[in-house]
């Protein structure tokens, strides 16, 4: 079966760095997405990785290792507004998005 | 750019009635739109994939006669929840792919519709 695993909840301090991991097992791979979702709102796109390596975009970076079925989202200089759920999603061989359950990130002052 | 709207943003209806939710791509054309539902503290669950001018493809376990999807134009898809019951209460989210950027497979999400059936 297809499976996406990510921690349910993480807590970090304002100004610090946090890494949210995602491991996956899917039938085929056509890229991995990270989305941010604030409570009661729709997801917003953060990153897309299809090749191995690190993609940096401002305070957010995303890493992918296809051989390990592993990705992480790195958030630097955390701000209170970064409190949200972070969803990992993998596009399988049918170009269908398989979603993880999301990681709720709590930022403390 | 790449804005998707949904209407209504929230709706309360009585059990047994039908509710229509609209999803529009405002500044791009979308040959493919997706309908998701999300229960509290759970991830997105894909209900169906909607292609302009053809029948929607429903995911396993989703009743196509209960959740009617129409994708009549390149900018509009509708989801109608027929004979709604309290268990249909959920957050319904649509997303769309930009026809001009199909190769990126990025989905642009609408703001969601919160449906409460009493």
Instruction: For A58-105, write each residue's pLDDT tens digit.
Output: 999 999 999 999 999 999 999 999 999 999 999 988 878 889 999 999
* CB within 8 Å: B106 and A91: no
With CA atoms as reference, report the closest residue to B70 among B58, B59, B56: B56
Asked if the Cβ–Cβ distance from B105 to A43 is below 8 Å, we say no
Residue B62 confidence class, pLDDT cut points 50, 70, 90: very high
Position A38 pLDDT exceeds 80: yes
Q: If pLDDT is split at 50, 70 and 90, which confidence band does B97 have?
A: confident
Rounded to the nearest integer, the mean pLDDT of chain A is 94
Nearest CB neighbour to B109, from listed A30, A43, A96: A43
Q: Which residues of B touch A91 (CB under 8 A)?
A: 105
Write the CA distances from A31 to A51, A61, B20, B55, integer angstroms: 8, 15, 33, 27
| Per-residue pLDDT band at B104 (split at 50, 70, 90) | low
Name the E strands within chain A.
Answer: 3-5, 9-13, 18-25, 32-37, 44-49, 53-57, 60-65, 70-75, 84-91, 97-99, 103-108
pLDDT, position B102: 61
Count the alpha carbons within 13 Å of B76 in the hemisphere toward its beta carbon. Answer: 8
Whole-number percent of chain A with pLDDT over 90: 80
Extract the tokens encoding B32: 């493919």
Please give the pLDDT value at position B9: 94
The residue written with tokens 């946090």 in the block is A18
Q: Out of A30-34, B37-41, B111-115, pick the least confident.
A: B37-41
Q: How far is A8 from chain B (nearest CA, A)?
A: 10
Does A30 contact chain B (CB < 8 Å)?
Answer: yes
Nearest CA in chain B to A91: B105
In B14-99, the DSSP E strands lie at: 19-25, 32-38, 45-51, 57-58, 67-73, 76-81, 90-97
- Report d(CA B73, CA B95) in Å as an integer: 15
Q: What is the pLDDT of residue B1?
A: 66
pLDDT, tens digit (0-9, with 9 covering 90-100), for B4-57: 999 999 999 999 999 999 999 998 888 889 999 988 878 889 999 998 888 899
């Amino acid at each position: 079966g297809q499976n996406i695993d990510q921690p349910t909840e993480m807590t970090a301090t304002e100004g610090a760095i946090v890494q949210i991991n995602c491991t996956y097992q899917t039938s085929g791979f056509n890229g991995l997405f990270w989305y941010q979702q604030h409570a009661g709102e729709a997801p917003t796109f953060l990153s897309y990785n299809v090749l191995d390596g690190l993609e940096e975009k401002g305070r957010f970076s995303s890493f992918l290792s296809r051989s390990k079925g592993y990705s992480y989202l790195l958030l630097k200089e955390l701000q209170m507004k970064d409190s949200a759920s972070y969803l990992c999603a993998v596009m399988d061989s049918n170009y269908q998005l398989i979603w993880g359950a999301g990681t709720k990130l709590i930022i403390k002052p | 750019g790449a804005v998707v709207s949904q209407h209504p943003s929230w709706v309360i209806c009585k059990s047994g009635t039908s509710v229509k939710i609209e999803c529009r791509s405002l500044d791009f054309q979308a040959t493919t739109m997706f309908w998701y539902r999300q229960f509290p503290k759970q991830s997105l669950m894909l209900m169906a994939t909607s292609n302009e001018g053809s029948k929607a493809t429903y995911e396993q376990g989703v009743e196509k006669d209960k959740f009617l999807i129409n994708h009549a134009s390149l900018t509009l898809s509708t989801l109608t929840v027929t004979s709604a019951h309290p268990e249909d209460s959920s957050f319904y989210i649509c997303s769309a792919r930009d026809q001009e950027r199909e190769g990126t497979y990025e989905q642009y999400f609408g703001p969601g519709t919160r449906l409460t059936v009493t």
